[in-house]
Amino acid sequence: MSRPITLFTGQWADLPFDEVCRLASGWGYDGLEIACWGDHFEVDKALSDDGYIDRKREILAKHNLKVYAISNHLVGQAVCDHPIDERHQDILPARIWGDGEPEGVRRRAAEEIKDTARAAARLGVRTVVGFTGSSIWHTLAMFPPVPPSMIERGYADFADRWNPILDVFDEVGVRFAHEVHPSEIAYDYWTTRRALEAIGHRAAFGLNWDPSHFVWQDLDPVNFILDFADRIYHVDCKDAKVRTTDGRRGRLSSHLPWADLRRGWDFVSTGHGDVPWEDCFRALNAIGYDGPISIEWEDAGMDRLVGAPEALQFVRRLAFDAPSAAFDAAFSTNQ
């Protein structure tokens, strides 16, 4: 097939990069979406160590893999988030966390995302996937009552913080693919439209389509592809299963941990949930998407060594190419 199938390494960052490459290659993946945590891709070293990029390329070549995107979700989350607290300290590099003063964390995170674009360009990668964070996500319940001006300030804050970042992306010829996701400035259909409007629809900012975050919100992942066709810069394949029919399990999942069967929904390995995958891949064909299909394994109820190769086979079967001609073209007598 023409589109490469890759493995997102974010959930494998406890393993050395070379080991993840060995596993992915053995299963038959074409390449990787490399996470900027663990030892997989270290932005500071990529810019300060002249041999760092070459060493990464050597490992990839040894395992016959290519890199199609790098992802810096964890640092991107801190650019706009409010509040900044111990959750962020747990996911951020110590040099970004610093003394933990919130505005300092946000500013250092923004500089790191700029450097991520520069490092991606050095690696020869043209897409960075990630999160934006949000200063207004905590207002979602709309109580205490939220004045419209507060929401407007949230989108203005996003634009103020991300436009200078996107200037650097433009300078180095790299695009940012924001993952539409709860806790971000764009988490559903209408907030995606509003976020794009806030930054003037500039081309440096597009979307990472991950349908797992749509199905439990009752959003249609197929129409999202069609409506945002010109903004789908990257694709992540992750699934989710909704279980809300017993009258006890709700969409907000009651602060229960992943894989707890009292939850109203859960992430599951690709092909085990409610995403209408065949319709989604047909929609990707319809918009002419020819980029990587990246499998993101997240399933607290399944061993990843089972889930990752199984998901690859599932996607290879369904992510077929569009035909070169309509089936009824053969009926024509004008041949």
Cα 93–chain centre separation: 19
pTM: 0.96
Other Cβ atoms within 10 Å of 111 Cβ, number: 15
User: For residue 234, what are the contacts with CB-CB under 8 A and spacing of at least 6?
Assistant: 33, 69, 127, 129, 177, 206, 207, 208, 209, 291, 292, 294
> CA dist 49 to 38, 46, 58, 122, 165, Å?
17, 6, 15, 12, 23
Name the 3-class secondary structure at 7: strand
CA nearest 176: which of 116, 86, 250? 116
Q: Which pLDDT tens digits describe the chain residue by residue (335 residues)?
A: 479 999 999 999 999 999 999 999 999 999 999 999 999 999 999 999 999 999 999 999 999 999 999 999 999 999 999 999 999 999 999 999 999 999 999 999 999 999 999 999 999 999 999 999 999 999 999 999 999 999 999 999 999 999 999 999 999 999 999 999 999 999 999 999 999 999 999 999 999 999 999 999 999 999 999 999 999 999 999 999 999 999 999 999 999 999 999 999 999 999 999 999 999 999 999 999 999 999 999 999 999 999 999 999 999 999 988 887 666 566 666 76
pLDDT recorded at residue 329: 64
Beta-bridge mates of residue 175 = 127
The CATH number of whichever domain residue 237 belongs to comes to 3.20.20.150
Burial class (CB in 10 A: 0-12, 13-18, 19+), 318: middle
Tell me phi and psi for residue 140, to 5 degrees: -55, -40
> CA dist 329 to 287, 316, 320, 325, 333, Å?
21, 27, 20, 7, 9
pLDDT recorded at residue 37: 98
Q: Are strands 127-130 and 31-35 parallel, antiparallel or unpaired?
A: unpaired
Helix axes 17-27, 52-62, angle to 10 degrees: 30
DSSP string, 84-114: --HHHHHHS-HHHHTT--HHHHHHHHHHHHH
- Per the CB < 8 A criterion, the answer to whether 258 and 269 are in contact is no
Domain assignment of residue 178, given as a range: 5-331
- Looking at the structure of the chain, the number of domains it has is 1
pLDDT recorded at residue 42: 98
pLDDT recorded at residue 72: 98
Q: Which amino acid, residue 101?
A: E
Give the separation between CA 219 and CA 136, rounded to whole angstroms.
21
Give the separation between CA 243 and CA 249, rounded to whole angstroms.
7
